[in-house]
Structure 1
Amino acid sequence: MAANPHGYTFNHTMLRVKDPAKSLEFYCDVLGMTLLRKSDVEAGEFSLYFLGFTDDEDEVPKDEKAAAEYVFSRQGVLELTHNWGTEDEDGPVYHDGNAEPQGFGHIALDLPDLEEAVAHFDRLGVEFQKRPEDGKMRHIAFIKDPDGYWIEILSAKAMAGG
């Protein structure tokens, strides 16, 4: 079979978030992602935040139509969906996928230096689900976002045995 015979692109993964301010602080300030586009859907009472990694924030188009095409033609975009009013609810609002019944597991980020990233997350008080020194898989860690979703952090080089 030909590689990608249809020309498909894996564009984005969506996570529902309780408080967009906390989630944007985590994904942008802690992980270094860029808010590529925000869309408020008044009829549905929700907002969409599209995030991705970019070397230059100026590459993101300012024009709404161009920004939409830019976001929906990229790979590796994270869509955070905020249903208005959830930030006012007590306790967790969404299932993280890792408690019973299990479903969704995690997203993963390749980092240039796992040890340096762990120190960065420690300085910022990020919650770990699994530290590299825990268990047998010492080349990965899992951190949690404000809604309890797991994020695997790894180094592609270490994963390949290098």
Structure 2
Amino acid sequence: MSFAGEQHMGVVTPPPETQGFRLNHLMLRVASPERSLAFYSRVFGMQVLRRLDFAEMQFSLYFLARLEEGDSVPEAQDARTTWTFQQKGLLELTHNWGTETQEGFAYHDGNAEPQGFGHICFSVPDLAKAQAWFDANDVTFIKRADQGKMKDVIFVKDPDGYWIEVVQADLLANMGD
């Protein structure tokens, strides 16, 4: 690997102590795991790799991935837990027990004021087919591929209102400066 990364103010050479560090997952809090798991499995084809419950603290974690042919996931829970925490690009849905029954309960999506967290992103092989799939599955759009200043980028919402960017990599080759 010869690419050393783009150089910008504040960027330093990675310290040798960080060798082997990798981003494992991103966590979103969800009010209803049933509703969110149905959405991410049906609309994005994700599977639950591991569910971890923490009864004393009253929350559950669901680790999701879009498995690919050839992925070898261990069957045994302890081995699968270890394997899960060794992966790249997982989505963790955290459910704080009881939120699913609270009338009007909602998490901040990060895009309303004050802004913070923005979105997660999925890359798809065919953006037009993905957009048609979202339409067929009644997914809520924030922005379609032909709308706004950034063409060939879709934004949809998940059941908790979190934004999901959807892109086709080869359509973005000439994006930005």
Q: TM-score range by the shorter chain?
A: over 0.9
Partner residue, 1:44:
57
Which moves more between the two structures, 4-13 or 32-41?
A: 4-13
Distance in 2 (CA, whole Å) between partners of 1:25 and 1:104 is 23
Deviation at 1:34, TM superposition (A): 1.1
Q: Residue 2 and residue 103 in structure 1: after superposition, are their counterparts in 2 closer, same or farther (change >3 A)? A: closer
Aligned mate of 2:143, from 130, 136, 140? 130
- Mapping of residues 9-158 of structure 1, within 5 Å: 9-56=22-69, 59-158=72-171
Distance in 2 (CA, whole Å) between partners of 1:126 and 1:157 is 24
Runs of 5+ consecutive residues of structure 1 not aligned to the other structure: none
Relative contact order, higher structure (CA 8 A, sep 6+): 1
Which moves more between the two structures, 42-51 or 3-12?
A: 3-12
Deviation at 1:59, TM superposition (A): 2.6
TM-score computed with the length of structure 1 as normaliser? 0.94
Distance in 2 (CA, whole Å) between partners of 1:161 and 1:121 is 26
Superposed CA offset, 1:4-29 (max 9, x none): 85221110000000000010011111
Distance in 2 (CA, whole Å) between partners of 1:81 and 1:132 is 30
| Contact 1:106–1:151 (8 Å) recurs in 2 | yes
Partner residue, 2:173:
160
| Contact 2:99–2:105 (8 Å) recurs in 1 | no
Corresponding residue pairs, total: 162
| Contact 2:120–2:164 (8 Å) recurs in 1 | yes
Superposed CA offset, 1:39-97 (max 9, x none): 11101101100001112498322211111111100000000000011000122421000
- Aligned letter for 2:88? Q
Distance in 2 (CA, whole Å) between partners of 1:60 and 1:87 is 30
Runs of 5+ consecutive residues of structure 2 not aligned to the other structure: 1-12
Question: What percentage of residue pairs aligned between the two structures are identical?
Answer: 50
Q: Where has structure 1 moved over 3 Å in runs of 4 or more?
A: 1-5
Partner residue, 2:5:
none
Q: Greater CA radius of gyration, 1 or 2? A: 2
Distance in 1 (CA, whole Å) between partners of 2:144 and 2:101 is 31
Which moves more between the two structures, 58-67 or 21-30?
A: 58-67
Distance in 2 (CA, whole Å) between partners of 1:29 and 1:57 is 21
